[in-house]
């Protein structure tokens, strides 16, 4: 941790369980590891913790919504801007432990990432697991060359909230925009539609699942019966996968 800015990881109960260290900007050139985290231990497992959860838990419960960002400074800047219901997974894939921790506080989650390729990939990565836990998921990508840290420092809380309200999309529209943008090849289009239907199949509530499927059929201009047949295949595969996991 020498020569690094230190960020303490505080657990849900308010105890410091680990540290993250970041090389300062002028020293990052040529440095292989910009960030260093405490190793896993008896009291700290990275996939069990969320950065900022202790400071955010009351605001999450009050707002009935949580914003998921990538880094430490994103959380800090959004708090300073006035948005406190925010946590970070520190650039790693979301785990079931983290999702269940948030689910105890709210059912609504907004993935708030940079608009670049890495941000899009991070948003796509966690979608299915969040849906599987029965949470309502929305996605917000920020303008090019912006991250939550820089955006929060340039805007007031009212401006930030207005941008969220105007630009947040549900996961179906997000996937349609990303996977089908400019795609004319029938095979690639079929793969993209299958990915969307597979995400819907992860939703445990049958009424919400049916509602999303109807909505997708309209947006994709496809027969609902065709999508339903594909979804039922995925549901059967999901059941088999859970059975194997349990064994």
Main-chain dihedrals φ then ψ at residue 34, nearest 5 degrees? -70, -40
Q: Which segments within 153-207 are labelled E, that is strand?
A: 169-170
How confident is the model over 48-90, as pLDDT tens digits? Answer: 999 999 999 999 999 999 999 988 999 999 999 999 999 998 7
- Spatial contact of 17 and 47, defined as CB atoms under 8 Å apart: no
Token digits of residue 123: 């948003």
Q: How many CB atoms lie within 10 A of CB 187?
A: 8
Question: Residue 129: its pLDDT value, please?
Answer: 87
CA-wise closest residue to 75 among 92, 56, 49:
56
How far, in Å, CA of 81 to CA of 23, rounded? 24
How far, in Å, CA of 124 to CA of 197, rounded? 14
List of long-range contacts for 98-104, beta carbons under 8 Å, 24+ apart: 98/47, 98/48, 98/49, 98/50, 99/126, 99/129, 99/130, 99/133, 99/135, 100/133, 101/12, 101/48, 101/50, 101/53, 102/50, 102/60, 102/66, 102/135, 103/133, 103/134, 103/135
Question: Residue 153: its pLDDT value, please?
Answer: 92
- pTM to 2 decimals? 0.88
10-residue stretch averages of pLDDT, the chain, 247 residues long:
91 94 73 82 91 96 94 93 92 83 95 76 80 91 86 92 92 87 87 92 93 92 93 91 87
Give the chain's radius of gyration (CA, Å).
19
What angle, rounded to 10 degrees, do the helices at 117-132 and 96-103 form?
70
Classify residue 100 by its DSSP letter: H
């Amino acid at each position: 941790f020498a020569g690094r800015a230190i960020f303490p990881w505080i657990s849900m109960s308010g105890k410091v369980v680990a540290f993250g260290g970041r090389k300062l900007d002028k020293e990052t050139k040529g440095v292989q590891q910009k960030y260093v985290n405490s190793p896993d231990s008896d009291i700290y497992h990275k996939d069990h913790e969320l950065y900022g959860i202790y400071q955010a838990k009351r605001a999450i419960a009050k707002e009935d919504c949580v914003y998921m960002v990538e880094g430490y400074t994103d959380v800090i800047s959004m708090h300073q801007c006035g948005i406190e219901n925010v946590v970070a997974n520190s650039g790693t894939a979301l785990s079931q432990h983290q999702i269940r921790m948030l689910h105890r506080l709210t059912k609504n989650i907004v993935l708030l990432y940079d608009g670049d390729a890495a941000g899009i990939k991070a948003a796509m990565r966690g979608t299915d697991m969040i849906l599987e836990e029965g949470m309502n998921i929305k996605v917000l990508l920020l303008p090019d060359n912006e991250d939550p840290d820089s955006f929060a420092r340039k805007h007031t809380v009212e401006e930030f909230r207005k941008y969220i309200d105007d630009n947040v999309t549900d996961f179906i529209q997000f996937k349609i925009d990303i996977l089908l943008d400019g795609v004319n090849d029938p095979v690639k289009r079929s793969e993209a539609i299958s990915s969307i239907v597979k995400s819907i199949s992860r939703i445990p509530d049958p009424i919400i699942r049916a509602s999303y499927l109807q909505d997708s059929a309209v947006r994709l201009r496809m027969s609902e019966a065709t999508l339903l047949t594909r979804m039922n295949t995925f549901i059967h595969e999901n059941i088999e996968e859970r059975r194997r996991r349990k064994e």
